Amino acid sequence: MSFNTDRQSIEQFFVDNFTESLRFEGHDYPNELPPFIGVIVDPTERLNNTLGNTQQIDGSIIVRVFTNRSDGTKAVLDLCDQIATKIDNMVIDGVVTYAVGAPVDLETEDLYLAKEISIPYYS
């Protein structure tokens, strides 16, 4: 499978395939599961990674999964694992890598970065 390199198409792909299906899948506590926000970063965009180093992202899409609850880390990590598994089954000759990130402040003190997923894709 290959992704269209158009950013809007990539974002729409995630909305269509993951947002709702992953929200409560496999959890016994849907009312307590923190919401998450997946942020797609352009493949060529320079970004500050969770270790504070700036790196060039080539041939990958970065998906960041957040929770707005400090006690929701496990749920978000579970969601990330589900995303990684589903993507890994769809990307041809691709390896999905993901790393745990430290809590970050994105304009709200209670927003925590739980995990970051790098998805190889082919134009």
Structure tokens at 89: 């089954």
- Identify the bridge partners of residue 5 per DSSP, sorted by sequence position: none
The pLDDT score that the predictor gives to residue 16 is 60
Residue-by-residue pLDDT tens, the chain, 123 positions: 444 444 455 556 555 655 444 444 444 434 444 444 444 443 434 344 443 443 444 445 555 555 445 555 566 566 666 665 665 555 444 444 444 443 444 444 333 444 445 544 443
* DSSP state at residue 110: T
The pLDDT score that the predictor gives to residue 52 is 40
The pLDDT score that the predictor gives to residue 30 is 40
What distance in Å separates the CA atoms of residue 91 and residue 3, rounded to the nearest whole number?
A: 9
What distance in Å separates the CA atoms of residue 11 and residue 22, rounded to the nearest whole number?
A: 15
The pLDDT score that the predictor gives to residue 53 is 40
pTM for the model stands at 0.35
Give one DSSP letter per residue of 15-70, joined into a string.
Answer: IIIIIHHHHSTT-S-TTTSPP--EEEE-TT-EEE-TTS-EEE--SEEEEEEEES-T
What distance in Å separates the CA atoms of residue 101 and residue 109, rounded to the nearest whole number?
A: 16
Nearby residues of 55 by Cβ (< 8 Å), 6 or more positions away? 46, 47, 49
